[in-house]
Amino acid sequence: MTQALGVHYLLELRDCDPRIIDDLPEVQRILLEAARRSRATIIDTVFRKFSPQGISGVVIIAESHFSIHTWPEYRYAAVDIYTCGRIDPLSAVGYMIEEFRSGNPAFVMLKRGLLPQPFEDLQFRLGRPRLPVQEDPNEISEWFFLDFINPSSANLIKARRLIFSARSPYQEIEILDTQAFGKCLMLDGRMQSAQADEFIYHEALVHPAMVTHPNPESVLIVGGGEGATLREVLRHRTVRRAVMVDIDRQVVEACRLFLPEWSDGAFEDPRTELVIDDARHYLTSTDEQFDVIIMDITEPLENGPSAPLVTYEMFQIVRSHLKPQGIVAHQSGSTGTSELHFFASMYKTLRAVFRYVAPYSIQITSFAMPWGIVIASDALDPRTLTADEVDRRLRARCEVEKLRFYDGAVHQALFALPRYMRSMLEELGQVLYDDGPPLYRPIDYAITIG
């Protein structure tokens, strides 16, 4: 392993608490404690407060230095750590992210004085990467980023290129090219869809409900901005009209431009009607009823656009827009052993509204966890279909050779939940109401590393 003369960490701490980063004694305390935690030998300090705001400071250590400059008005702090000895700067990085309460941290680690230097510098980014959009597909700038699964665990993914980045009124939108999963759609720093395995999620979300219905002609899709859910719905030749309602026009437009293989021409299909609107507003503004409703929404983060779409009151609205033999499929969060509370709550909330409720789980590699879906109906139960009947309906309606995941055997297997999951669905969760507490809060990226 090639040795370096020193290691240099450049920290980008965004969305900090502006009061903390404008408090001279507190900033000095945090940097000194960070140096102590890294087991550095402190020699001297110089800190200065500027008017009207902002702080600069340096902690001189025997191994080199820690330095900081803050912009409270932008909630931003730039931190520089250089070490040339056997100390532990990663523990200092994690500590400062926590203490400055950075909601969107990133850092780059550079090895200094490599002779020779056979490898590119390895760049780590916590949360969302902040690089210029690279329009040239041959322009590669590899780095790793963390896709946070929950506040205590994350998936480390190697990205090759930032294809698109924008902030809509509702969320942060990014499209990345990754080494393991190809192109990926990220919303608010969370993996939503990956080129390598999106077909598993979208086929599993759409076809069990569509096949269970004897003749689905009208379909409503809530969310699904990539267009892949729409693509799978339109595989059924029985469909005469598919209405897709998504609140975020920028997601839809970005996916149509940069991820066209997701929709595969579905937006241009004459059966498609695209509506840019809040789904709850749309449903309360129309009397139309549908054979199938597919709820492909983002996680219902507190104060986020999807939060009002997972409650008892919302499902009563959904039920009123289903025809007598109507059926709904709803993506319902992770089914990992430590993440089942929301899945159980979705199951219980739908069960409080519908006669038949059928939960199932699929494995999505790019999500780094299993994922849950719940089907509900007053008239239809997908668990009653035999594998032969599923295959017969698929052959009559679809070009089955284009399906890569779903068939009759898979349909039956989906609903065979393991014993622990069946038990936890009964033991965990609660019926969700409009005025109830949120189950999903934005993940705090201020984690401790090392």
pLDDT at 439: 64
**Could you say which of 17, 291, 296, 378 is catalytic?**
296
pLDDT at 408: 98
CB atoms within 10 A of CB 437: 9
Q: What's the CA gap between 206 and 200, in Å, rounded?
A: 10
Report in angstroms the alpha-carbon separations of 239 from 36, 203, 232, 268.
65, 16, 11, 15
User: Which of 142, 132, 202, 203 shows the shortest CA–CA distance to 174?
Assistant: 132
CB atoms within 10 A of CB 280: 19
Q: What's the CA gap between 212 and 383, in Å, rounded?
A: 9
Q: Which amino acid is at 328?
A: V
Residue 118's pLDDT band (cuts 50, 70, 90): very low
pLDDT at 441: 52
Are the CB atoms for 446 and 148 separated by under 8 Å?
no
SS3 201: helix
Q: What are phi and psi of 347, to 5 degrees?
A: -60, -45
Please enumerate in sequence order all residues whose Cβ is within 8 A of that of 304, keeping only pairs 6 or more positions apart, or say none: 170, 171, 298, 440, 442
Structure tokens of 251? 């997601």
User: Which of 235, 236, 239, 267 shows the shortest CA–CA distance to 251?
Assistant: 267
Q: What's the CA gap between 224 and 218, in Å, rounded?
A: 17
Helix (H) or strand (E) holding 178: strand 172-178
Q: Does pLDDT of 256 surpass 50? A: yes
For the segment 209-251, what is each residue's pLDDT rounded down to a tens digit?
999 999 999 999 999 999 999 999 999 999 999 999 999 999 9
Q: Does pLDDT of 51 surpass 80? A: yes
Query: Can you tell me which residue has the tokens 């598993």?
Result: 200
Q: Does pLDDT of 135 surpass 60? A: no
pLDDT at 146: 76
Q: What's the CA gap between 134 and 435, in Å, rounded?
A: 44
Tell me yes or no: is domain 198-427 CATH 3.40.50.1000.
Answer: no
Q: Does pLDDT of 140 surpass 80? A: no
pLDDT at 263: 98
Per the annotation, the verdict on 264 as an active-site residue is no
Cα–Cα–Cα angle for 329, 332, 336, nearest 5°?
135
Q: What's the CA gap between 192 and 131, in Å, rounded?
A: 20
pLDDT at 43: 94
Superfamily holding 6-193 = S-adenosylmethionine decarboxylase (3.60.90.10)
Percent of the chain with pLDDT over 90: 68
The long-range contacts involving 335-340, CB below 8 angstroms and separated by at least 24 positions, are 335/361, 335/369, 335/370, 335/371, 335/372, 335/421, 336/149, 336/369, 336/370, 337/420, 338/150, 339/149, 339/150, 339/369, 340/421, 340/424, 340/425, 340/428, 340/429
Q: Which amino acid is at 391?
A: D
Structure tokens of 324? 């007598």
Where do the structural domains in the chain lie, given as residue ranges? 6-193, 198-427
Are the CB atoms for 346 and 333 separated by under 8 Å?
yes
Structure tokens of 38? 């890294």
User: Which of 207, 140, 170 shows the shortest CA–CA distance to 297?
Assistant: 170
In 3-state terms, the chain is what percent helix, strand and coil (to 5)?
A: 30, 35, 35
CB atoms within 10 A of CB 396: 11
pLDDT at 168: 87
Residue 257's pLDDT band (cuts 50, 70, 90): very high
**Average pLDDT taken over every residue of the chain:** 88
Q: What's the CA gap between 315 and 329, in Å, rounded?
A: 11
Q: What's the CA gap between 167 and 133, in Å, rounded?
A: 13
Residue 53's pLDDT band (cuts 50, 70, 90): very high
Are the CB atoms for 82 and 105 separated by under 8 Å?
no
pLDDT at 133: 55
Residue 328's pLDDT band (cuts 50, 70, 90): very high
Q: What are phi and psi of 300, to 5 degrees?
A: -80, 70
What average pLDDT does this structure show over 46-68?
Answer: 94
Q: What is the DSSP string of 23-68?
A: -HHHHHHHHHHHHHHTT--EEEEEEEE-SSS-EEEEEEETTEEEEE
For the segment 387-409, what is each residue's pLDDT rounded down to a tens digit?
999 999 999 999 999 999 999 99
pTM above 0.85, yes or no: no
Bridge-based pairing of strands 104-112 and 190-194 is: unpaired
pLDDT at 8: 84
Cα–Cα–Cα angle for 246, 256, 249, nearest 5°?
30
Please enumerate in sequence order all residues whose Cβ is within 8 A of that of 422, keeping only pairs 6 or more positions apart, or say none: none
Report in angstroms the alpha-carbon separations of 335 from 104, 259, 420, 425.
27, 27, 11, 10
For the segment 365-386, what is each residue's pLDDT rounded down to a tens digit?
999 999 999 999 999 999 999 9
